[in-house]
Chain A
Amino acid sequence: EVQLVESGGRLVRPGESLRLSCAASGFTFSHHAMSWVRQAPGKGLEWVSSISSSGSFKYSADSLKGRFAISRDNAKNSLYLQINTLRAEDTAVYYCARDLWPQYYFDYWGQGTLVTVSS
């Protein structure tokens, strides 16, 4: 059974940094691209970033480039999202999802981890 479990979300102050993790199991992690999607409270889904199976190719939303960095460790079956200089508008549930390339869709999602940015 495919499982994706996010962690690392918490209350942080504006300007701080945070690293989110996503632990994958039930499939060969190193064979699949992965992505992060976020959802602010009461708002719609927003694609954040995607990474290829090897980690060689990374893509991010233009509005988030520079502060967000996606990475992965295939030996640990883990996906990461580094978020720097956090802002109030980054408050959201962050989902990791398995990303089917080159068809470009998300077939499995985690339950999400909540990041709250507030002073």
Chain B
Amino acid sequence: QSALTQPASVSGSPGQSITISCTGTSSDVGGYNYVSWYQQHPGKAPKLMIYEVSNRPSGVSDRFSGSKSGNTASLTISGLQAEDEADYYCISYTSSSTRIFGGGTKLTVL
């Protein structure tokens, strides 16, 4: 099974908003509301940012939001800050009871 499709890179200036897409199929992203997003800084472990498509764990800034339409999930970061520069990964539950990650997106804050 191929990885979910994410853009390799996105960029934005401080204060702007960016959106990272995560495209799968009806057997994963489109079939379940079990998409989560993780932020990873270089040399660090991933950190949960969004779960079940649009839920934000306590402690995560409300500048981070998630949504889904059809087979594509999205992570939006508003009011971009320098510390948001990192790699972002989506992951979905699948119809085979497995999980599949996206290829990852490198966010650059200009």
Contact = CB atoms under 8 A, between A and B. Distances in A.
Question: A and B from one assembly?
Answer: yes
Interface of A: 35, 37, 44-47, 50, 59-62, 95, 100, 103-107, 109-112
A50 B99 contact: yes
B100 to A, nearest CB: 7
Contact of B99 (A100, A104, A109, A112): A104
Interface in B69-94: 87, 89, 91, 93
Contact of B101 (A44, A50, A100, A104): A44
Contact of B36 (A106, A109, A112): A106
Contacts of A44: 3, 87, 89, 101-104
Given A45-B89, A45-B101, A62-B98, A106 B52 contact: no
Contacts of A95: 45-46
Contacts of A46: 101
B45 A110 contact: yes
A105 B46 contact: no
Contacts of B15: none
B98 A47 contact: yes
A79 to B, nearest CB: 15
Contacts of B45: 95, 109-112
A47 B48 contact: no
